[in-house]
């Protein structure tokens, strides 16, 4: 059965974010089921899901309460649009519940199906808003190297990872990438963290001066960068960056797709680093990935300006067929209720401390140049030489080999560009499972070193 499925995969599936040629040789790994923090492949082998899928299965696998919420809503009312003022109870309840969660005044929520379409909507909303308030020049968006904001034309242009740009002929004249706040990789020899932050702040100021504040509408940022290498901001970064944005009337789009809902030890990453966003993007853990759903939160002042401008058009002419899909919304509502009822934010914060403490000794592993993280997310940057921080040659695919070695040990981790191993388990992980994760990761690193 596995062999015939694998052949069908090789014949017919187009895999996203995959080394397509390598896939022809290696073939697929086929997952069959999940339970709690564990997943099982088609041969029945059990693995600890140390990546929560793609940073998303917050409440773990097989959560019956979410299955029930979906089944109930699906039999009651499987679909209805939000177009033309039509509505449905799960979407209304989800918007109202999110308003209790997000630190945004008079927030309104625009629903979508993925982080990418939500960030794409963020770009459109920034344009709409500045057109609405009579500042049509204020359209450029600042992003950063190593950022990951999605893969639509607009959001791939915001993403600061070269592989996501090559061959795609993206638009993006209106996107400016700042230096990644990656102290370990981007700091100069001998530069202190404080000096590094100061250099990045000066860079931001000089970019604003060069372009003109009147041409820059927003900066988009993940509080902690995920897919770009698990990069927490250096100390003092946001305290220094935010006032510069505020002084220049540049709105901060907070991409909480990975950080949101407890990942960094607070409900949102913006709360971990005292960031005051103008707007927010949420997806992934919003439904613990049981169904695809995303949300953009906009503040009241933006909504009112957009409402006014849309009046002149006759309608706000934007929206997805599946925006506010009642089944996905019902699952998201139940997911947030479960997080509240079970104290998942506090649990995640406590488990986060255990995870970081458990991983700490791995910083001394010969392969690990830099260990970083906070809460239930961590990255291990692999280097050929700890002193010079020299990377292994890219063709070595070192991180992929380590991820494969971890898999052989029964642990799922992810290899990211720049030879970083990412760890991001479901928020429901318990102390014994954290020990298991750390042990298997250590054995995976040893196994890869030996090979």
Binding to ligand PLP (CB under 6 A): which residues in 171-210? none
Please tell me the distance from the alpha carbon of residue 172 to that of residue 111, in angstroms, as a whole number: 25
For 265, which DSSP code? Answer: S
Q: Of 222 and 409, which CB lies nearer to ligand PLP in the complex structure?
A: 222
Kindly tell me the burial class for residue 243, based on how many C-beta atoms sit within 10 Å of its own C-beta (0-12, 13-18, 19 or more): exposed
Rounded Cα–Cα distance for residues 225 and 378 (Å) = 11
CB atoms within 10 A of CB 196: 21
Q: How many residues does the chain have?
A: 451
Residue range at the interface with ligand PLP (CB under 6 A); choices 136-144, 252-260, 295-303, 357-365: 252-260
Task: State which residue, 49 or 255, has the beta carbon closest to ligand PLP.
Answer: 255
Helix and strand numbers, DSSP H then E, in the chain: 16, 15
Least Å distance, CB 397 to ligand PLP, is 21
The H or E element that residue 297 is part of is strand 294-298
Contacts with 199 (C-beta within 8 Å, 6 or more apart), sequence order = 179, 191
CB of 213 to ligand PLP, least distance (A): 26
Q: d(Cα 451, Cα 448) in Å, to the nearest integer?
A: 5
Instruction: Give whichever of 126 and 132 is closer to ligand PLP, judged by the CB atom.
Output: 126
Residues 54-73: x where in contact with ligand PLP by CB under 6 A, - otherwise, as a string:
x-------------------
In the complex with ligand PLP, which residue's Cβ is closer, 257 or 295? 257
Asked if 255 interacts with ligand PLP (CB under 6 A), we say yes
Asked whether 157 and 120 are in contact (CB, 8 A), the reply is no
Would residue 132 be called left, alpha or beta, if left means φ above 0 and alpha means ψ between -120 and 50 degrees? alpha
259 versus 338: smaller Cβ distance to ligand PLP? 259
Q: Residue 47 belongs to what H/E stretch?
A: strand 46-49
Interface characters, 283-312, with ligand PLP (x: CB under 6 A):
x-----------------------------
Q: Is 114 in the site for ligand PLP (CB under 6 A)?
A: yes
Which residues pair with residue 293 across a beta bridge? none
Q: Least distance (Å) from ligand PLP to the CB of residue 144?
A: 12
In order, the DSSP letters of 207-219 are HHHHH-GGGEEEE
Shortest-Cβ-distance residue relative to ligand PLP: 115
Q: Which is nearer to ligand PLP, 66 or 293 (CB)?
A: 293
Stretch that binds ligand PLP, among 6-14, 78-86, 166-174, 254-262 (CB under 6 A): 254-262
Q: Kindly state the number of chain residues that form the binding site for ligand PLP, as judged by CB under 6 A.
A: 15
Q: Return the residue of 34, 50, 60, 115 that touches ligand PLP, per CB under 6 A.
A: 115
Cα 246 from chain centroid (whole Å): 24
Least distance CB 159 / ligand PLP (angstroms): 8
227 forms part of the interface with ligand PLP (CB under 6 A):
yes
- Cα 384 from chain centre: 28
Q: Which residue of 150, 277, 299, 426 would you call a contact of ligand PLP, by CB under 6 A?
A: 150
Residue closer to ligand PLP by CB (options 224, 349) is 224
For 199, other C-beta atoms within 10 Å of its C-beta total 15
Q: Which residues bind ligand PLP (CB under 6 A)?
A: 54, 114-116, 119, 148-150, 222, 226-227, 255, 257-258, 283
């Amino acid at each position: 059965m596995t062999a015939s499925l694998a052949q069908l995969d090789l014949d017919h599936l187009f895999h996203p974010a995959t080394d397509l040629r390598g896939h022809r040789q290696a073939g697929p790994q086929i997952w069959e089921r999940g339970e709690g923090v564990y997943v099982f492949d088609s041969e029945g082998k059990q693995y600890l899901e140390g990546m929560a899928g793609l940073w998303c299965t917050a409440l773990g696998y097989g959560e019956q309460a979410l299955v029930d919420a979906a089944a109930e809503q699906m039999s009651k009312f499987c679909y209805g649009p939000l177009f033309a003022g039509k509505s449905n109870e799960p979407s209304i309840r989800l918007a109202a519940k999110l308003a209790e969660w997000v630190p945004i005044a008079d927030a309104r929520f625009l629903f979508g199906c993925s982080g990418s379409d939500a960030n794409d909507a963020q770009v459109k909303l920034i344009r709409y808003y500045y057109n609405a308030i009579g500042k049509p020049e204020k359209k450029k968006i600042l992003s950063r190297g190593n950022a990951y904001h999605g893969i639509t034309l607009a959001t791939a242009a915001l993403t600061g990872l070269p592989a996501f740009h090559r061959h795609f002929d993206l638009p993006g004249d209106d996107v400016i990438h700042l230096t990644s706040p990656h102290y370990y990789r981007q700091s100069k020899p001998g530069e202190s963290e404080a000096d590094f932050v100061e250099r990045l702040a000066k860079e931001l100021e000089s970019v604003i001066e060069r372009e003109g504040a009147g041409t820059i509408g927003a900066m988009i940022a993940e509080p902690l960068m995920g897919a770009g290498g698990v990069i927490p901001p250096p100390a003092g970064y946001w305290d220094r960056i935010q006032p510069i944005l505020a002084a220049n009337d540049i709105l901060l789009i907070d991409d909480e797709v990975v950080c949101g809902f407890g990942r960094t030890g607070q409900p949102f990453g913006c709360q971990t680093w005292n960031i005051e966003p103008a707007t927010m993007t949420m997806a992934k853990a919003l439904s613990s990935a049981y169904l695809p759903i995303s949300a953009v939160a906009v503040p009241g002042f933006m909504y009112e300006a957009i409402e006014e401008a849309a009046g002149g058009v006759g309608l706000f002419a934007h929206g997805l067929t599946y925006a506010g899909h009642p089944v996905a919304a019902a699952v998201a509502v139940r997911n947030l209720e479960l997080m509240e009822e079970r104290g998942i934010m506090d649990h995640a914060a406590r488990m986060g401390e255990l995870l970081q403490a458990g991983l700490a000794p791995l910083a001394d592993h010969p392969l690990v140049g830099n260990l970083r993280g906070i809460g239930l997310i961590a990255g291990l940057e692999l280097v050929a030489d700890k002193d010079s921080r020299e990377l292994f040659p890219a063709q070595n695919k070192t991180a992929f080999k380590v991820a494969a070695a971890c898999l052989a040990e029964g642990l799922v981790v992810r290899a990211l560009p720049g030879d970083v191993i990412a760890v991001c388990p479901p928020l429901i992980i318990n102390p014994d499972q954290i020990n298991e994760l750390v042990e298997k990761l250590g054995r995976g690193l040893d196994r890869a070193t030996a090979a």
